Structure 1
Amino acid sequence: MAADAADPATAPARPTVPAALARPHFIGIGGAGMSGIAKILSQRGARVEGSDARESLSVTALRGLGAKVHIGHDAANLAADATSVVVSSAIRPDNPELAAAAERGVPVVHRSDALAALMEACRPLAVAGTHGKTTTTSMLAVALGSLGLDPSYAIGGDLDEPGSNAHNGRGEIFVAEADESDRSFHKYAPEVAVVLNVELDHHANYASMEEIYESFEIFARRIRPGGTLIVSADQEGARELTRRVRERGEVKVRTYGEAADADVRVLDITPHGLTSETTVLLDGAELTFAVFVPGRHYANNAVAALVAGTEMGLPADELAKALGTYTGVRRRLQLMGEANGVQVIDSYAHHPTEMTADLEAIRGGAGDGRVLVLFQPHLFSRTQELATEMGEALALADASVVLDIYPAREDPVPGVTSELIIDAARAAGADVRHGESRAAGSELVAGMAGPGDLVLTMGAGDVTDLGPQILAGLAH
């Protein structure tokens, strides 16, 4: 396939705004996925309004684009001429704005349907998987941008500043993070799709691995005719998905990884502190390129991005160099600062596999210093199912402090607390303590750290806000 990307200097901006999204109202507009769609709609000329529970940097960025954002949820927030109400799966049925929409007959649009509509006239490249979606999508967005292709993109995290999670580009390609958590990725029809890994997560929505496989198979069948599925050859669940998809014979599959039978084989990953050099065998030729984020998992994410880009028709050597311009995304092993010789790094890891990968990556770049973790479990359902594995992952740190569970959209589950993780960590030989509050946890981990140590704030909740507090504690 030829890339045929439009010249950003001459190509018109994508004008397509479906009538239902001309004057949308977003409930929870500041969320990672919702704010990106709202941003693209604003850039395409829609009159965007919405509400969120609190002020945030994302909300501020949207207001800078002309969006009207209310703080707090109230039926009165819904404008009389709203053409739709956009929601995510996190919005509860009793939300007053959602109830007002039902009373007035205003159409309710799921955010996945809104994103699918925005991608329809483009060449979509969708990145899925239990872990690594945000990083790989970000790598592609940055690399394609550095090649002058000006892609549109929607990512579950900010690249370098608040509001940088989405962009309405002038090029043909639209790179999107495809979320499997609520099966919303079934709405997309990508030209090229990436599946990084397939594991059981989101236990409130999936009861078994078989349900997970079925969901990813549906996603694969949504690929446009002539398109390609890119899948890891290293991860057990991804290999099983490859077997199932190839058995059906409905879509081209290309695998990548360190496995000997990978179509694009990773020959070597050489770490250099918090960066690495990666060599792959691609179409019979060796190609070496730099990855400026730490850890084997990030190097493999870069290889997935490389293969996906070549399947979109981009030259491998140019794309490999462009991937070297990616230096990370907010909350993915992001350096928050340093005080008294201690670096504080923020990690979004909240599943045991992600926790293990990030801790191994940091361990590789820590030298003689200790690795200390302030961990905030995310969701009662995930903790109930994976507490033991989370505790075992924390055993990779020299010491940890575990906060109470961040509930997000869930109600408490009797008997499910962070003590389950603490007990499992201690059983695995870990030095772990309970942070009885966010402030107490910050003080504990700051008090444990000394020059040369690395402190990780880890979790998908608001533990990220504690980095500055830890740095302040270290400075005194």
Structure 2
Amino acid sequence: MKLEQVHNVYFLGIGGIGMSALASYFLFSGKKVGGYDRTPNDRTQALQSEGAQIHFEDDISKIPADFTQPENTLVVYTPALPDSHTELTYYRQNDFHLAKRSEVLGMIANPSYCMAVAGTHGKTTTSCILAHLLNEAQAPYMAFLGGVSEDLGNNFALNGTDYAVVEADEFDRSFLRLTPDIACITAMDADHLDIYGAAEELTAAFEEFIALQKPGGKSIIRYGLPIPGITYGEEAEATYRATNIRLHQGAYQFDIEAPGLHIKGCRFTKPGRHNLMNALAAFALGVESGFDPNILAKALGTFKGVARRFSYQIKTSDFVYIDDYAHHPTEIDAVHQAVSELYPDKRNTVVFQPHLFSRTQDFADDFARSLAQFDHVLLLEIYPARELPIPGVDANWLLNKIENPNKKLVTKAELVHEVRNINPDILLTLGAGDIGNEVTQLKTALSHGN
């Protein structure tokens, strides 16, 4: 089914970060949009306010009549849905055209100059920075992001269709639906081993992603990764280099060097060397796509950030609370590096919610090492997402591996009490599950020392 033939688009899992961006696109395009999700969230509320018809029960009778016509309805579903899902079964049995989110994203983005950002860490922030740079360069672009950009106030932008900024997700091999004009790989650490089985298979998928580029396509690759391309990093051998890096009043000041290019006095306000590398990647993507380097460099200094990516909730002289999506040992290390650089003499406490039984099992020793770096560790139970429990793999099992005497297994209901007892200078909540739902309560309770 061609998108021009589609009048109605129905999303199974419409509240997901990637699905909701597609739903916004179709609403902007004048299509009727509806969908199902398990629970309402900020994204479903925003979509409903824009005209989407959404319900929260897996019930065929709740599907609006507009979305029961096979000849002009496209059904988009997330791979996280179980095969037993009632509405999914209904659509499969009644000759509707069904497509995975990744397939539809490819149909939309591939005809444009497709700028695809992949990587096991950093792709969301890099994509959001890139969208901000194109916005500042007044480019006719659209963006499909895996997080809510604080600059755009959304996970989607549509200012034209000449350029498409796309977060290319390796989960379920989704990124293999894209044919980029320029592609970026930020990191290739082992992850999603429930999908790939082994790190070598994940590497092979990234190689296949690069091979799918259009003729004459370019690759922007983090220096040191085993894939050829235009590299970026702090290393002297990298094509795009951040040099003369220093921290001034909580922001990075640095220079950018590349063949035929030297821009001094660049500024980037998001903490952590990992974020500085994300900024450099986005800059390289923009320059290699033909945009003015000076406009892009200036725009780096005005980037606000991404929701749940080193997101300050409280920032006073005596207490700081930061929330972050970190859910892999490498990401936890990056958060620790940023906090240690910014607040070297402050006592920190991390609250971590492990995400997925399989990931916890695969990287248990690495998680234990990463978490042990913090002064105090509060551990929540594992967030299962799409998975069934694995015998013997739970939060207490992980807790016992953490070599830090200041550690404790807690429930969400105990969080405020436990944090007050510790009374840290720096509090961090980390995880990709529903720990984000606790942020408002913690922020309210700790803002005024209630």
1:381 to 348, 358, 370: 358
d(CA) in 2 for partners of 1:17 and 1:172?
A: 19
- Shift of residue 286 of structure 1? 2.1
1:259 aligns with 2:247: no
1:443 aligns with 2:428: no
1:321 aligns with 2:306: no
1:143–1:325 CA contact under 8 A, matched in 2: no
| Counterpart mapping for 1:71-86 below 5 A | 71-78=56-63, 79-81=67-69, 83-86=73-76
d(CA) in 1 for partners of 2:420 and 2:220?
A: 42
1:230 to 205, 220, 230: 220
2:116–2:165 CA contact under 8 A, matched in 1: yes
| Counterpart mapping for 1:190-209 below 5 A | 190-209=180-199
Are the structure 2 counterparts of residues 299 and 99 from structure 1 closer, same or farther at C-alpha, using a change threshold of 3 Å? same
Name the counterpart of 1:460: 432
Are the structure 2 counterparts of residues 140 and 93 from structure 1 closer, same or farther at C-alpha, using a change threshold of 3 Å? same
1:279 aligns with 2:260: no
- Shift of residue 416 of structure 1? 0.6
d(CA) in 1 for partners of 2:57 and 2:420?
A: 34
What secondary structure sits across from 1:335 in the alignment? Answer: strand
Uncovered stretches (5+) of structure 2, i.e. residues with no partner: none
2:17 to 32, 39, 42: 32
1:104 aligns with 2:94: yes
Name the counterpart of 2:155: 165
CA deviations over 1:377-430 (Å, ceiling 9, x no partner): 00000001111111111122111100000011111111110123212212xx35
d(CA) in 2 for partners of 1:46 and 1:169?
A: 18
1:375–1:401 CA contact under 8 A, matched in 2: yes
In structure 1, give the amino acid aligned to 2:422.
Answer: M
Name the counterpart of 2:227: 241
d(CA) in 2 for partners of 1:301 and 1:85?
A: 34
d(CA) in 1 for partners of 2:107 and 2:41?
A: 27
Equivalent residues, number: 442
CA deviations over 1:145-167 (Å, ceiling 9, x no partner): 11211420011110129970012
- Shift of residue 310 of structure 1? 0.8
2:124–2:146 CA contact under 8 A, matched in 1: yes
- Shift of residue 214 of structure 1? 1.0
- Shift of residue 24 of structure 1? 1.3
In structure 2, give the amino acid aligned to 1:100.
Answer: Y
d(CA) in 1 for partners of 2:223 and 2:316?
A: 41
1:374–1:457 CA contact under 8 A, matched in 2: yes
CA deviations over 1:320-365 (Å, ceiling 9, x no partner): 1112221110000111235894222110000000010011102211
What secondary structure sits across from 1:300 in the alignment? Answer: helix
d(CA) in 2 for partners of 1:412 and 1:441?
A: 24
In structure 2, give the amino acid aligned to 1:433.
Answer: K
1:395–1:430 CA contact under 8 A, matched in 2: no
Name the counterpart of 1:47: 32
In structure 1, give the amino acid aligned to 2:269.
Answer: F
- Shift of residue 89 of structure 1? 1.4
Which 4+ runs in 1 deviate beyond 4 A?
none
What secondary structure sits across from 2:331 in the alignment? Answer: helix
- Shift of residue 17 of structure 1? 7.5
- Shift of residue 19 of structure 1? 4.1
d(CA) in 1 for partners of 2:406 and 2:134?
A: 44
- Shift of residue 61 of structure 1? 0.6
What secondary structure sits across from 2:149 in the alignment? Answer: coil
Uncovered stretches (5+) of structure 1, i.e. residues with no partner: 1-15, 243-252
Name the counterpart of 1:434: 409
d(CA) in 2 for partners of 1:233 and 1:214?
A: 18
d(CA) in 2 for partners of 1:180 and 1:332?
A: 19
Name the counterpart of 1:61: 46
- Shift of residue 263 of structure 1? 1.6
1:398–1:431 CA contact under 8 A, matched in 2: yes
1:125–1:175 CA contact under 8 A, matched in 2: yes
Shifted more, 277-286 versus 296-305: the winner is: 277-286
In structure 2, give the amino acid aligned to 1:257.
Answer: G
Task: Supply the RMSD in Å over aligned alpha carbons.
Answer: 1.9
What secondary structure sits across from 2:39 in the alignment? Answer: coil
d(CA) in 2 for partners of 1:21 and 1:355?
A: 43
Name the counterpart of 1:4: none
2:402 to 425, 428, 432: 425
d(CA) in 1 for partners of 2:59 and 2:184?
A: 39
Name the counterpart of 1:138: 128
Q: Could you tell me the TM-score, scaled by structure 1's length?
A: 0.89
- Shift of residue 280 of structure 1? 2.2
In structure 1, give the amino acid aligned to 2:430.
Answer: M
1:370–1:398 CA contact under 8 A, matched in 2: yes
2:137–2:291 CA contact under 8 A, matched in 1: no
Name the counterpart of 1:363: 340
Q: Percent identity?
A: 34
What secondary structure sits across from 2:148 in the alignment? Answer: coil
1:401–1:433 CA contact under 8 A, matched in 2: yes
